[in-house]
Amino acid sequence: MLATLRSATLVGIDGRPVRVEVHVSTGLPAYHVVGLPDASGRESRERVRAALLSSELPWPMQRITVNLAPGGLRKTGAGFELAVAIGLLVAGEALPDSVVTDLGVLGELGLDGSVRRVPGVLALVDALRRAGVRRVIVPLANAAEAALVDDVEIWPARTLAELRACLEGEADWPAIPALPPPSPDRGDGADSEEPLDLADVRGLPTARLALAASAAGGHHLLLVGPPGTGKTMLARRLPTILPELTREAALEVTRIHSVAGHAPTHTLASTPPFRAPHHTASTAALVGGGSGRPSPGEVTLAHHGILFLDELGEFAPSTLDALRQPLEDGIVRIARQGMTLAFPARFVLVACTNPCPCGLGARACRCDRAQRSRYGRRLSAPLLDRFDLRLPVEPSELDEPPGVASAVTREQVMVAVERQRARLCGTSWSHNARIPAGALERFVPLSAAAAEAWLFLSGARELTGRGSARIRRVARTLADLDDRDEITATDLATAGVLRADIAVS
């Protein structure tokens, strides 16, 4: 007896459809899984057997062969177990053959017959939909997430026994729980007890403007200054002014985080991710990789959001240089024997660093020349060049007024984002920062007066083509933040000042 079901496995952050074929024949009782399963796939025998027996369902005392097709694709995880169990019921004639025709099944089994959640359901269900499957059984815990995929009927499963009854039409399917509201904390969750607000930071008007420009226009931001000046405080409050994700972006973010197996799980991400890896992070942790199944790195988890690197100068230089390619292409390609995975990685890089090892910088620095140049070499010129916004942060003076609240800045950012979306509608670029130099004339035109003023102002200051393109993009964002169409000379001058010629040390 043969039963065929549809399932899916994760390759990188994408799902690939897999056919689960269960064959039961006469012979000595045995259980074999073929088709490149990993260790958890091979262990499935014990879980499937115990789950069937605990659910008072028959376990065929015959020769059982499970094939996961296509045979050349390496499968990961225990997500096929539910499909195998249903396949055994069909092959053992405990269920009619007709119910499983073109049925997608995802889920892991517990020894008591319960159906447990699997990572990456959004990606897996989406892969099944693209393969033409219209009905998918998923664990109840994943049902809300799976229901985010359009055009697919989701059948939630709580236990194996209940599932059999539902398939037979003896019971109703459990209701799909509603999506829980997005979690209220907008920070990175590290210290979400006290809500963060930009009003906590005194002074620093330029740095605030740069932060708003970064949030609105997607410009990479580097803050350089001695310890205790508020640069980290400021950067940590960036999530409080970020615009909400579009539905498309939210689906993509949810999908990535679901594959990675951490928050936000079983809810649709509404806020852009804010990832803050520690400076001891390895290259694989940052850009993705690892042995066996390559997993997405921090740059991918920060897709559509912010990658915040505090103490940039303390990261290993090779790790930082690995960021250059994703910064440029918005994608990380990881090659392994027999496959190349592409992880999306379109993030905004926000970094803080001390100006030198002693941290005091400028006048008060006590580092010697050699120490400073060693430190400076960690941040390669090509990496520094990627930052549209680079500025020094010095301690604010005591009599400075408390800063503008996040809510106010966020309003400004939302206005800018709306203008930006309208401008870039129909292009593949999401932010001002991503408009290629060739398209600047069309999307960021300069009035003759502004261009002339800028030439006059910049005077002897030499600007490479690349540098001036960056200044132009930032000026566009600054005008957007001010809800203006026209880019003025002031916008251009401010963009120039916001891109200080910081050579760390």
Whole-angstrom Cα distance, residue 137 to residue 173? 10
Q: Is 209 in the site for other proteins (CB under 8 A)?
A: yes
Q: What are phi and psi of 496, to 5 degrees?
A: -65, -40
Closest approach of Cβ 242 to other proteins, in Å? 21
In the complex, minimum distance from the CB of residue 385 to other proteins, in angstroms, rounded to a whole number: 15
Q: Looking at 345-388, list the stretches that DSSP marks H as alpha helix, in order from N- to C-terminal side.
A: 369-378, 381-385
- Residue 175: is it exposed, middle or buried by C-beta count within 10 angstroms (0-12/13-18/19+)? exposed
**Pairwise CA distance, residues 455 & 143, whole Å:** 59
Told to check if 384 binds other proteins by CB under 8 A, we report: no
Pairing of strands 348-353, 221-224: parallel
Q: What is the DSSP letter of 387?
A: -
362 binds other proteins (CB under 8 A): yes
* Stretch in the footprint of other proteins (CB under 8 A) among 66-74, 93-101, 126-134, 203-211: 203-211
Choice from 22, 33, 207, 416 touching other proteins (CB under 8 A): 207
489: contact with other proteins by CB under 8 A: yes
Residue 335 near other proteins by CB under 8 A: no
**Does 503 interact with other proteins (rule: CB under 8 A)?**
yes
Number of residues that bind other proteins (CB under 8 A): 43
Please choose, from the candidates 201, 202, 112, the residue with its C-alpha nearest in 3D space to the C-alpha of residue 160: 112
Question: In angstroms, what is the minimal distance from the CB of 488 to other proteins?
Answer: 8
Cβ 322 vs Cβ 286: under 8 Å:
yes
Residue 329 binding other proteins, by CB under 8 A: no
Task: Among 150, 363, 422, 465, indicate the residue that binds other proteins (CB under 8 A).
Answer: 363
**Mask: binding to other proteins, 398-437, rule CB under 8 A, as x and -?**
--x-------------------------------------
Q: Which stretch binds other proteins (CB under 8 A): 17-25, 148-156, 356-364, 405-413?
A: 356-364
Q: Minimum CB separation from other proteins for residue 130, in Å?
A: 49
Minimum distance from CB of 398 to other proteins (Å)?
11
Per CB under 8 A, the list member of 172, 193, 248, 501 interacting with other proteins is: 501
**Residue 369 sits in the site that holds other proteins (CB under 8 A):** yes
Q: How far apart are CA 163 and CA 114, in angstroms?
A: 10
Tell whether residue 388 is a contact of other proteins (CB under 8 A).
Answer: no
- 244 versus 385: smaller Cβ distance to other proteins: 385
Q: How far apart are CA 282 and CA 284, in angstroms?
A: 5
CB of 367 vs other proteins, minimal distance in Å: 8
Helix, strand, coil share of the chain (percent; to 5): 40, 20, 40
Q: Is 179 in the site for other proteins (CB under 8 A)?
A: no
For position 494 contacting other proteins by CB under 8 A, the verdict is: yes
Closest to 499 measured CA to CA, from 391, 361, 393, 394:
391
What's the CA angle centered on 260, arms 255 and 266, to 5 degrees? 55
Least distance CB 209 / other proteins (angstroms): 5
Helix (H, G, I), strand (E, B) or coil at 297: coil
Cα–Cα distances (Å) from 354 to 222, 282, 322, in that order, read 11, 21, 21
- Kindly state whether residue 215 participates in binding other proteins, applying the rule CB under 8 A: no
Q: Which of 186, 266, 390, 410 binds other proteins (CB under 8 A)?
A: 390
DSSP per-residue letters across 222-258: EEE--TTSSHHHHHHTGGGGPPPPPHHHHHHHHHHHH
Q: Is 462 in the site for other proteins (CB under 8 A)?
A: no
Rounded to whole angstroms, the maximal C-alpha distance in the chain is 90
Helix and strand element counts for the chain (H, E) = 20, 16
User: In terms of CB distance, is 190 or 457 closer to other proteins?
Assistant: 457
User: Among residues 83, 204, 341, 444, which is the contact residue for other proteins, using CB under 8 A?
Assistant: 204
Is residue 467 at the binding interface for other proteins, with CB under 8 A as the rule?
A: no
The pair of structure tokens assigned to 1 is: 């007896």
Contact residues toward other proteins (CB under 8 A) are 203-207, 209, 224, 355, 361-369, 390-394, 396-397, 400, 456-461, 489-491, 493-494, 496-498, 500-503
